[in-house]
Amino acid sequence: MGGVLTVAFYLLVMVLVFGILIFIHELGHFLTARACGVKIREFAVGMGPTVFSWKSKKYGTKYGMRALPIGGFVSMEGEDEASDDESAFCNKKVWQRMLITIAGPAMNLVLGFILMMTLVLIQGPIGSTTVAEFDENALSSAQLEIGDVIIEVDGTRVYSGNEVLYEISNKGYEPIDILVKRNGEKLLLSDVVFPTSEEEGVVFGTLDFKVLAEERSFGNLMKQSFTRSLSAVKMVIDSLVGLISGRFGLDAVSGPIGVAEVVGEAAKTNIDTFLYIVAILTINLGVFNLIPFPALDGGRFLFLIIEGIRRKPINKNVEAYINFGGIIILFAFMIFVSFKDVMKLIFR
């Protein structure tokens, strides 16, 4: 009985979290379309049968909630077909359609920054990039010294302790180069070795030193919020690159069920962990939708770029077939990873 309640709790939290993230995403499309004078037929959260809906008397827009919490949409006049209405999406300038298309992912990224800023404000000390002390038997102490200010980790510029932690975790599974400032001069340390750990068959580097805390000034808080958000964006991109290159196997990919478990556990742990997971999810959603793949906002944005270059729209039927193919591939992949997550829960 306890297991059933736990699963139900996980699913409830996931539905609430994803509902908010999808709402924010679609709200970006909606507000930008409205600002550009596009006629909006329907604004819905979820997919499938309508649970409830109402219609605006002023604009004629239908607002609704659908049964399946797996997406959402803003249906605009002339979005997928030709129209003579001057307020139709297809009749707006290319740059306006680009703004409308990109607004959804942008809203998710903005929400991620706000959540990261909230985390920085409620958490304790802000980590700098200055080495303060080493853990017992630290491997990196063979080359790093206390007082070193870390500038780059394997060629990537770092501005905060959070970035140092991530870059070493991401790249420190093998010897890496560290650029530091020591006694006022820059010094490149070659092949610095860090301890490693393994998770889901993937090896990560482990930070084996502590960094100095920075003053909690307004400037440092904003810098920390911004760099944490950038690190999260980079983490999503690195994960996609790692998946394509083979560094991360499919075991490291989670579908809705796996995500529900992670979010549910975070909700039971503490507010800091929960906010961080939600921030990563919304940034993930924003970055993923920017990928130039059919059916995603990035794919639609690519079509608009091509239209701008050609100075004439792509055939709507061709675009529709390509987007439909993209939807089939995405749903097939989601079903596959969901099945994998179920098997993992059953046999773990």
141 band by pLDDT with thresholds 50, 70 and 90: very high
pLDDT (0 to 100) of residue 266:
65
Q: Domains in the chain, please, with CATH?
A: 2-120+279-347 (no CATH), 125-215 (2.30.42.10)
Environment class of residue 343 by beta-carbon count within 10 Å: exposed (0-12), middle (13-18) or buried (19+)? exposed
- Residue 266 bridge partners (DSSP): none
Residue 123's identity, in one-letter code, is: Q
Closest Cα to residue 189, out of 139, 133, 135, 258?
139
pLDDT (0 to 100) of residue 280:
87
Arithmetic mean of pLDDT over the chain? 85
Q: What is the pLDDT of residues 151-209, one digit of tens each?
A: 999 999 999 888 999 899 989 999 999 999 999 999 999 999 999 988 777 788 999 99
80 band by pLDDT with thresholds 50, 70 and 90: confident
Closest Cα to residue 313, out of 132, 133, 137, 91?
91
Cα–Cα distance between 2 and 4 in angstroms, integer? 5
User: What SS3 class is residue 113?
Assistant: helix
Note the Cα 129 to chain centre separation in Å: 25
pLDDT > 90: what percent of the chain? 39
Specify the range with the lowest mean pLDDT, choosing from 211-215, 255-259, 278-282.
Answer: 255-259
- Residue 261 known to be catalytic: no
Residue 58's identity, in one-letter code, is: K
pLDDT (0 to 100) of residue 113:
92
pTM of the model: 0.82
Mean pLDDT to the nearest integer, 14-32: 89
Q: Is the pLDDT of residue 339 over 70?
A: no
Q: What is the pLDDT of residues 82-117, one digit of tens each?
A: 888 899 998 999 999 999 999 999 999 999 999 989
Are the C-beta atoms of residues 288 and 296 closer than 8 Å to each other?
yes
Mean pLDDT to the nearest integer, 312-338: 80
Query: 93: which residues sit within 8 A by CB, 6+ positions away?
Result: none
Q: In terms of C-beta distances under 8 Å and separation of at least 24 residues, what long-range contacts does 301-308 make, across chains too? A: 301/98, 301/101, 301/102, 304/94, 304/97, 304/98, 304/101, 305/98, 307/94, 308/94
Are the C-beta atoms of residues 107 and 25 closer than 8 Å to each other?
yes
Q: Is the dihedral of CA 107, 109, 114, 119 positive or negative?
A: positive
Mean pLDDT to the nearest integer, 26-42: 94
Please identify which of the residues 26, 77, 79, 214 carries the catalytic annotation.
26
Give DSSP secondary structure letters for 31-46. HHHHHTT--EEEEEEE
Residue 340's identity, in one-letter code, is: K
